[in-house]
């Protein structure tokens, strides 16, 4: 079977470790031919070129600059992504008959490219729904359903509806996502909507005692405290003001230490807090070498997940998986619409509280400090192997083909 994967994720090899490349490797392992289009922005100085791997071909497609540029260039480049992808398929894959087209959200703006392959090759189309846009932008106040911004919302909402319409199946991250799509899109056949969770290849990322002590000492992280780690994006979806409130409320808890590793549009707010108040139990880092970061996660005691309380859509962050494979329990602070907290609590590998009451966060921190939590991470790892592996997602996708 020939599989085409369309994404805005930038990667040079399917050997890289992400939720998408891990899934593509499963297709290759099972004898399928994988073709992927992965964009590279013009500012990086790479021309469009093909990368050939065993049973996999990656088209590194040059697109306009959409990041670290002015609004006009960003707007033009974004509009041109769809026709650029469609032209690339015609130019580079005209002799390949695709059986399956895989694509994820974001973005929702590849409709014509997907539709072109679907009609040309009578291909099956499968949407990996990782984000519900434009409603997420409305939730964060970046878009409105009325006024001038309302025109933009209506445009993207129409694009979203078209994307659902051309999708033969829609794979959602959780049951709450399934319910949301069905309840808010009466034109979508409920029979085509299913759970196809975020997933990765099974790798045991836990560390032994010696490694735990070594990596903590390397980065001046206390070896005698319960260390809570957050790693990932630090933008509006994470509700940074709430995170700061939580850190302030925990400033005098000497048994707890908070390590935050990440970057994003709201990173500066955390940096300003750390610079101004110099909390003794907080370490803020923009980045770590990937190998060190993976080891650091396993060397910590609890993984943190934050989501802004304004969300009405049920997000399900993939960073859950990095904590699960490191065999550490998880504390999720989210809006009540996400079911990631239910997954964690019902699975017996962590805690949940709403992301609008920092006092509840403090209560959980104190509970964690006083309890023996060593077995909770093992429960999370067992659930990971049962429900969140790339092989599991592969089997869900191909079962209907």
Average pLDDT per block of 10 residues along the chain, 401 residues long: 93 93 96 94 85 93 74 70 89 95 87 94 96 90 85 88 95 96 96 96 94 94 95 92 96 94 92 95 91 93 96 94 96 96 95 94 94 90 96 94 76
Sheet holding 302-306, edge to edge: 282-285, 256-263, 226-233, 302-306, 330-334, 350-354
Q: Do residue 245 and residue 196 come from a single domain?
A: no
Q: Do residue 293 and residue 263 come from a single domain?
A: yes
H helix count then E strand count, the chain: 15, 14
Q: Which residues pair with 5 in a beta bridge?
A: 36, 102
Q: ∠74-140-173 over CA atoms, to 5°?
A: 90
CA distance 333 to 355: 5
Q: Do residue 179 and residue 243 come from a single domain?
A: no
Q: Global pTM? A: 0.91
Q: Do residue 394 and residue 380 come from a single domain?
A: no
Residue 177 belongs to domain with CATH number: 3.40.50.2000
Q: Do residue 195 and residue 219 come from a single domain?
A: no
Q: Do residue 11 and residue 138 come from a single domain?
A: yes
Antiparallel, parallel or unpaired: β 226-233 and 256-263? parallel
Q: Do residue 255 and residue 377 come from a single domain?
A: yes
CA distance 342 to 350: 10
Q: Do residue 31 and residue 179 come from a single domain?
A: yes
Q: What integer pLDDT is reported at residue 69 of this predicted model?
A: 65
Strands (E), 42-122: 49-53, 56-63, 100-105
Domain count, the chain: 2
Q: Is 187 exposed, middle or buried (0-12, 13-18, 19+ CB in 10 A)?
A: exposed
Q: Do residue 186 and residue 218 come from a single domain?
A: no
Total Cβ atoms within 10 A of residue 298 = 22
Q: Do residue 196 and residue 269 come from a single domain?
A: no
Q: What integer pLDDT is reported at residue 290 of this predicted model?
A: 85
Q: Do residue 186 and residue 249 come from a single domain?
A: no
Main-chain dihedrals φ then ψ at residue 47, nearest 5 degrees? -80, 160
Q: Which domain holds residue 338?
A: 209-386
Q: What integer pLDDT is reported at residue 275 of this predicted model?
A: 95
Rg (CA), the chain: 22
Per-residue pLDDT reduced to its tens digit, 177-223: 999 999 999 999 999 999 999 999 999 999 999 999 999 999 999 99
342: tokens are 């239910």
115: tokens are 């539709």
398: tokens are 């191909």
């Amino acid at each position: 079977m020939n599989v085409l994967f369309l994404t805005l994720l930038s990667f040079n090899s399917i050997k890289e470790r992400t939720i998408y490349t891990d899934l593509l490797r499963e297709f290759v392992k099972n004898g399928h031919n994988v073709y992927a289009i992965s964009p590279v922005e013009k500012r990086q100085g790479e021309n469009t070129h093909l990368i050939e791997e065993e049973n996999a071909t990656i088209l590194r497609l040059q697109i306009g600059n959409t990041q670290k540029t002015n609004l006009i260039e960003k707007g033009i480049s974004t509009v041109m992504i769809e026709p650029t992808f469609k032209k690339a398929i015609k130019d580079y894959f005209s002799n390949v008959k695709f059986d399956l087209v895989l694509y994820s959200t974001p973005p929702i703006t590849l409709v014509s490219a997907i539709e072109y392959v679907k009609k040309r090759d009578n291909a099956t189309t499968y949407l990996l729904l990782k984000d519900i846009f434009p409603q997420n932008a409305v939730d964060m106040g970046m878009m409105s359903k009325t006024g001038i911004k309302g025109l933009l919302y209506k445009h993207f909402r129409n694009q979203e509806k078209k994307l659902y319409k051309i999708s033969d199946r829609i794979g959602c991250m959780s049951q709450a996502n399934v319910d949301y799509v069905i309840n808010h899109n009466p034109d979508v056949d409920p029979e085509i909507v299913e759970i196809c969770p975020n997933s990765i290849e099974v790798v045991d990322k836990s560390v032994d005692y010696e490694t735990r002590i070594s990596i903590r000492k390397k980065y001046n992280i206390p070896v005698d405290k319960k260390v809570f780690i957050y790693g990932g994006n630090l933008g509006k979806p994470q509700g940074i003001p709430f995170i700061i409130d939580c850190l302030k409320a925990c400033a005098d808890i000497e048994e707890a230490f908070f390590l935050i590793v990440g970057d994003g549009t709201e990173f500066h707010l955390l940096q300003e807090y750390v610079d101004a108040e110099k909390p003794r139990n907080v370490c803020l880092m923009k980045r770590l070498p990937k190998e060190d970061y993976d080891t650091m996660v396993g060397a910590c005691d609890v993984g943190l997940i934050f989501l802004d309380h304004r969300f009405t859509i049920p997000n399900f962050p993939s960073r859950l998986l990095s904590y699960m494979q490191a065999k550490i329990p998880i504390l999720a602070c989210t809006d009540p619409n996400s079911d990631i907290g239910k997954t964690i609590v019902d699975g017996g590998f962590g805690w949940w509280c709403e992301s609008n009451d920092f006092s509840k966060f403090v209560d959980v921190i104190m509970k964690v400090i006083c309890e023996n939590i060593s077995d909770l991470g093992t429960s999370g790892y067992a659930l990971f192997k049962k429900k969140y592996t790339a092989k599991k997602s592969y089997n869900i996708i191909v079962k209907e083909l």
